[in-house]
């Protein structure tokens, strides 16, 4: 599904637009001049839908799968998607440690399967990570993409800001969603204080558009959506929950 010139939604589950497997996060394709990247990969059960949407988008070769964090709905599909596309996986240091080990426990997958969130067919395969990224800037065929460290929802969480001709597009992963909602989980690597600082950092970027890891895309005035979350944290309260 085309969101902007060169930016397509290629996976989205029950919490979003139901394009692929219900457990999938939103995954985005960014198409530059002769190069493309994926932001997140889904849970692995909706790969054929995602690959079909990629083909329909007519993208040049996907060189990299950028993983925002190691939760299964974003990362369990990364290994298989990267293999099928001949792409590299890039992730933060903390996410890379979980992905390379295929550490379902650290990814929260073991507990989530026990809780019935995922079926046992969701598997975190050991996933080679070609490059560890923190902050810094990536080039996607002439499209500038800033990586932003945003821990809190999960350790080593990354967001990405694209400098698109139509404005600043924030790929926020699970740090913050439309209408200022957040996902605070009862998991060992959740850190609410770090999440508040991360949301503040993202709000300061004053993005025009917000394409988050779940839910609907925000096509204008995304800064107002981020302000809902940052205002709540400043009052030392929690923003509204994603679900």
Write out the residues near Zn ion by the rule CB under 5 A: 71, 174
Ranges of beta strands (E only) in the chain are 2-4, 7-11, 27-31, 36-39, 62-66, 88-91, 131-132, 136-140, 143-149, 158-164, 167-173, 209-212
Q: What's the min distance (Å) between Cβ of 222 and Zn ion? A: 20
Residue (6 or 156) nearer to Zn ion, CB: 156
CA torsion sign for 45, 51, 57, 62 is positive
Q: Do 62 and 40 contact (CB within 8 A), yes or no?
A: no
Q: What minimum distance in Å lies between the beta carbon of 154 and Zn ion? A: 6
Nearest approach, Cβ of 108 to Zn ion (angstroms)? Answer: 8
Residue 125: CB minimum distance to Zn ion, A: 18
Question: Is the Cβ of residue 97 or residue 224 nearer to Zn ion in the bound state?
Answer: 97
SS3 206: coil
Tokens describing residue 76:
């369990």
Least distance CB 60 / Zn ion (angstroms): 29
Residues 29/43, Cβ–Cβ less than 8 Å: no
- CA dihedral for 157, 223, 26, 87, sign (positive or negative): negative
Decide whether 20 or 63 has the Cβ nearer to Zn ion: 20
Residue closer to Zn ion by CB (options 107, 138) is 107
> Residue 8 or 71: which CB sits closer to Zn ion?
71
Q: From 106, 120, 230, 105, select the one nearest 176 (Cα to Cα).
A: 230
């Amino acid at each position: 599904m085309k969101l902007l010139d060169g930016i397509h939604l290629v996976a989205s589950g029950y919490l979003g637009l139901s394009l692929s497997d219900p457990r999938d996060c939103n995954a985005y394709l960014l198409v530059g001049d002769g190069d493309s990247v994926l932001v997140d990969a889904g849970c692995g059960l909706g790969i054929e839908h995602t690959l079909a949407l990629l083909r329909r988008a007519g993208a040049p070769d996907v060189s990299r799968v950028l993983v925002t964090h190691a939760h299964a709905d974003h990362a369990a599909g990364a290994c298989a998607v990267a293999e099928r596309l001949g792409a590299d996986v890039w992730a933060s240091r903390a996410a890379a440690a979980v992905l390379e080990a295929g550490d379902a426990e650290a990814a929260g997958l073991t507990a989530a399967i026990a809780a019935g969130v995922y079926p046992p067919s969701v598997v975190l395969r050991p996933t080679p990570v070609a490059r560890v990224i923190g902050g810094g800037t990536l080039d996607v065929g002439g499209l500038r993409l800033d990586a932003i460290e945003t821990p809190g929802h999960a350790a080593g969480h990354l967001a990405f800001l694209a400098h698109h001709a139509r404005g600043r597009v924030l790929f926020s992963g699970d740090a913050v969603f439309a209408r200022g909602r957040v996902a605070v989980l009862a998991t060992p690597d959740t850190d609410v204080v770090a999440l508040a600082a991360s949301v503040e950092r993202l709000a300061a970027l004053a993005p025009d558009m917000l394409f988050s890891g779940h839910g609907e895309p925000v096509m204008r005035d995304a800064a107002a959506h981020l302000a809902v979350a940052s205002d709540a944290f400043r009052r030392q309260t929690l923003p509204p929950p994603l679900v």
